[in-house]
């Protein structure tokens, strides 16, 4: 089973709203990722969690706040977003490692399409 689930599938929010994106995996993976993707562009890494601790923050604005409550769940809390934050937000997970082996393949969820008005 290589399933990563994300909710909601679509989200429309105003610039003053607070919302959260959720991601869940049950593959026993200990690394989880948030990516932002604009149309017809490659995904851009935002955050990496390793063993439930934040290991990489790619200089993401503080209006994006990640949280990893346990090894299966990853949240992205959104507050005071800008229209330019409208994008597809992808969650991924992988086994932990630093050997660039096949076991470290990142498996992605279906994404949340976010529109900020």
Binding region for another protein (CB under 8 A): 2, 31, 33, 40-43, 45, 48, 50, 55-56, 58, 88, 90, 92, 94, 98-102, 104-111, 113
CA distance 62 to 68: 16
Q: How far is the CB of 91 from another protein (least distance, A)?
A: 10
Q: How far is the CB of 54 from another protein (least distance, A)?
A: 11
CB atoms within 10 A of CB 14: 10
Which is closer to another protein, CB of 26 or CB of 41?
A: 41
Helices and strands in the chain, H and E counts: 0, 11
Which is closer to another protein, CB of 49 or CB of 64?
A: 49
Is there a contact between 36 and 44 (Cβ–Cβ < 8 Å)? Answer: yes
Q: How far is the CB of 60 from another protein (least distance, A)?
A: 13
CA nearest to 85, candidates 25, 44, 56: 44
């Amino acid at each position: 089973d290589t399933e990563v689930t994300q909710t909601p599938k679509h989200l429309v929010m105003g610039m003053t709203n607070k919302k959260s994106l959720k991601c869940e995996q049950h593959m026993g993976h200990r690394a989880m990722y948030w990516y932002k993707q604009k149309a017809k562009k490659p995904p851009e890494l935002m955050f990496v969690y390793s063993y439930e601790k934040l290991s990489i923050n790619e200089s993401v604005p503080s209006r994006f706040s990640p949280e990893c409550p346990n090894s299966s769940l990853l949240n992205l809390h959104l507050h005071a977003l800008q229209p330019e934050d409208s994008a597809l937000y992808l969650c991924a997970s992988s086994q932990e490692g630093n050997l660039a082996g096949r076991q470290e393949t990142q498996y992605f969820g279906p994404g949340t399409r976010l529109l900020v008005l």
